[in-house]
Amino acid sequence: MEVKNSRSWPVGTYAGNKAGKTAPARSNGTFHGDATMSISRYRNCRVFLMSSMALVLAGGSACPAKAAEKPKPAATTGWDRQAAARYLDSREVWWQGWDRAQKDHGTLCVSCHTQAPYALARPVLRGALGENAPSASEVVLLASVEKRVRGWDQMPPFYSDEKYGTGKEIESRAAESVLNAVILSSYDKRQGKLGETARMALDHAWALQLQTGPDAGAWTWQNFDYTPWESKESQYHWAALMAVAMGSAPDHYQDEAKVAANLAALRGYLRSHYEAQPLLNKVVALWASARMPGLMTGPDRSRLVAELGRLQRTDGGWSLADLGTWVRRDNTPLETRPDGYATGLVVLVLEENRAENAAVKRGIEWLKANQDKSTGAWPAWSLNKNRDVKSDVGKFMSDAATSYAVLALEARR
Is the model's pLDDT at 387 over the cut of 70? yes
Specify the range with the lowest mean pLDDT, choosing from 129-138, 148-157, 266-275, 349-358: 349-358
Query: In terms of domains, do 355 and 410 share one?
Result: yes
Q: Last residue of a domain, which of 272, 288, 312?
A: 272
pLDDT averaged over every residue in the chain: 85
Of 9 and 324, the one with more pLDDT: 324
Q: Residue 115: inside a domain, yes or no?
A: no
Query: In terms of domains, do 306 and 247 share one?
Result: no
Number of domains the chain contains: 2
Report percent pLDDT > 90 for the chain.
Answer: 78
Q: Residue 231: inside a domain, yes or no?
A: yes
pLDDT mean over 152-160: 95
| CA 130 from centroid of its chain's CA atoms | 23
What pLDDT score does 107 carry?
Answer: 97
Q: Last residue of a domain, which of 256, 272, 288?
A: 272
Query: In terms of domains, do 224 and 301 share one?
Result: no
Name the pLDDT band for 77 (thresholds 50, 70, 90).
Answer: low
Query: In terms of domains, do 268 and 309 share one?
Result: no
Q: Give me the domain span that covers residue 248.
A: 169-272
Specify the range with the lowest mean pLDDT, choosing from 86-90, 127-131, 379-383, 402-406: 127-131
Write the CA distances from 343 to 38, 43, 112, integer angstroms. Answer: 41, 37, 19
Evaluate whether 270 touches 235 at the Cβ level (below 8 Å): no
Q: Residue 210: inside a domain, yes or no?
A: yes
Q: Residue 88: inside a domain, yes or no?
A: no
Query: In terms of domains, do 332 and 253 share one?
Result: no
Of 23 and 409, the one with more pLDDT: 409
Is the model's pLDDT at 251 over the cut of 50? yes
Name the pLDDT band for 43 (thresholds 50, 70, 90).
Answer: very low
Q: Residue 174: inside a domain, yes or no?
A: yes
Q: Residue 112: inside a domain, yes or no?
A: no
Within 10 Å of residue 71's Cβ, how many Cβ atoms?
17
Specify the range with the lowest mean pLDDT, choosing from 20-34, 159-173, 266-280: 20-34
Per-residue model confidence as pLDDT tens digits over 204-234: 999 999 999 999 999 999 999 999 999 999 9
Query: In terms of domains, do 256 and 320 share one?
Result: no
Per-residue model confidence as pLDDT tens digits over 329-339: 999 999 999 99
Q: Last residue of a domain, which of 272, 306, 338?
A: 272
Query: In terms of domains, do 246 and 185 share one?
Result: yes
Convert the chain into a string of H (helix), E (strand) and C (coil).
CCCCCCCCCCCCCCCCCCCCCCCCCCCCCCECCCCCECHHHHHHHHHHHHHHHHHHHCCCCCCCCCECCCCCCHHHCCCCHHHHHHHHHHHHHHHHHCHHHEEHHHEECCCCCCHHHHHHHHHHHCCCCCECCCCHHHHHHHHHHHHHHHCHHHCCCCCCHHHHCCCHHHHHHHHHHHHHHHHHHHHHHHHCCCCHHHHHHHHHHHHHCCCCCCCCCCCCCCCCCECCCECCCHHHHHHHHHHHHHHCCCCCHHHCHHHHHHHHHHHHHHHHCHHHCCHHHHHHHHHHHCCCCCCCCHHHHHHHHHHHHHHCCCCCCCCHHHCCCCCCCCCCCCCCCCCHHHHHHHHHHHHHCCCCCHHHHHHHHHHHHCCCCCCCCCCCCCCCCCCCCCCCHHHHHHHHHHHHHHHHHHCCC
Largest CA distance in the chain: 59
Q: Residue 91: inside a domain, yes or no?
A: no
- Structure pTM? 0.83
Q: What is the chain's Cα-based Rg?
A: 20
Query: In terms of domains, do 249 and 345 share one?
Result: no
Please return the burial class of 356, using the count of CB atoms within 10 Å of its CB with bins 0-12, 13-18 and 19+.
exposed
Q: Which range, 28-37, 54-63, 64-73, 261-270, is most confident?
A: 261-270
Per-residue model confidence as pLDDT tens digits over 158-180: 999 999 999 999 999 999 999 99
Q: Is 382 left (phi over 0), alpha (psi -120 to 50) or beta?
A: beta
Query: In terms of domains, do 306 and 395 share one?
Result: yes
Specify the range with the lowest mean pLDDT, choosing from 67-76, 306-315, 367-376: 67-76
Name the pLDDT band for 65 (thresholds 50, 70, 90).
Answer: very low
Query: In terms of domains, do 315 and 374 share one?
Result: yes
Provide the Cα torsion 25, 31, 37, 40; round to 10°.
0
Name the pLDDT band for 253 (thresholds 50, 70, 90).
Answer: very high
Query: In terms of domains, do 348 and 255 share one?
Result: no
Specify the range with the lowest mean pLDDT, choosing from 28-42, 113-127, 350-364: 28-42
Nearest Cα to Cα of residue 46 among 108, 123, 88: 108
Q: Residue 7: inside a domain, yes or no?
A: no
Integer Cα distance of 357 and 363 in angstroms: 10
Query: In terms of domains, do 308 and 350 share one?
Result: yes
What pLDDT score does 394 carry?
Answer: 95
